[in-house]
Amino acid sequence: MLTSAMVFAAGLGTRLQPLTNDRPKALVEINGHTLLETTLQKIIQSGITEIVVNVHHFSHLVKAFLATHTFDADIRVSDESDFLRDTAGGLKYAEPLLHGDHILLHNVDILSDLDLRALVADHIDHHALATLAVRQRTTSRYLLFDAETLQLGGWQNVVTGEKQVARPMRQELPLGFSGIHVVSREILRHIPADQKLSMTPLYLALAPDHLIRGYRHDSGRWMDVGKYNDVVKLRENGGKF
């Protein structure tokens, strides 16, 4: 079964300003390498060689970067310059470019030592519709899983108190989403075409009738570098996270 990948690189990068005043967040550099290059190399090292990158903000710069850099993979661009569709909407828009039975989804501003091969294998072994990399960490928004089965059951914002329960859970286990997930191609038929939609509400809508699982990686290294201060600290630390 073919596994392809998609890198979500179309965001505006407002939390990274002023670094994104003249470039997209995908081309922000850490230790001499852009976030896009780092993400692509990690995916390629996992054995996936069909990768789609979506673009919107400063899309011409991402296209120019890909045109002038060589990777051991077939890299295609899903151009959302006309309309930013968010993650689920962007995935649906890229459907003609994705040929895998399973699709690895990776945010461009996430750094980790997560074993992507193991994540994909776990997804396939459990015949899940989606498998989300998650970990115990402090965040304002948590995904809620059944502690025994790791099946997605809800979502909670601990700052506002908002909570959504999609399916019953014997014991709720709040975990932070890591920005890396795997979906089966079947999920594409559940996403409306040409609409702006995030993956989280899609997962919650599908959770009552489909297997949406968590994949824990608590012991490994992980970092969201979507904020300016995070990038500054990472640069000061020589790129070590």
pLDDT band at 241; cut points 50, 70, 90:
confident
Please check the confidence at residue 1 and state whether its pLDDT lies above 80.
no
Specify if 39 maps to a domain: yes
Report yes or no on 23 lying in a domain. yes
Assess if residue 241 is contained within a domain: no
Q: Is residue 129 within 8 Å of residue 184, measured between CB atoms? A: yes
Are 144 and 165 in contact, with CB atoms under 8 Å apart? yes
- Residue 148 CB partners (closer than 8 Å, separation 6+): 170, 171
Pairing of strands 172-184, 102-107: antiparallel
Task: Tell me, yes or no, whether 138 lies in a domain.
Answer: yes
Q: How many domains does the chain have?
A: 1
pLDDT digit string, tens, across residues 50-87: 999 999 999 999 999 999 999 999 999 999 999 999 99
In this structure, what CATH number is given to the domain that contains residue 181?
3.90.550.10
pLDDT of residue 18: 95
64 versus 220: the higher-pLDDT residue is 64
Residue with tokens 């596994």: 3
pLDDT tens-place string over residues 109-139: 999 999 999 999 999 999 999 999 999 999 9
Q: Within a domain: residue 46?
A: yes
Residue with tokens 């108190």: 161
Residue 116 lies in domain: 3-236
Asked whether residue 220 is domain-assigned, the answer is yes
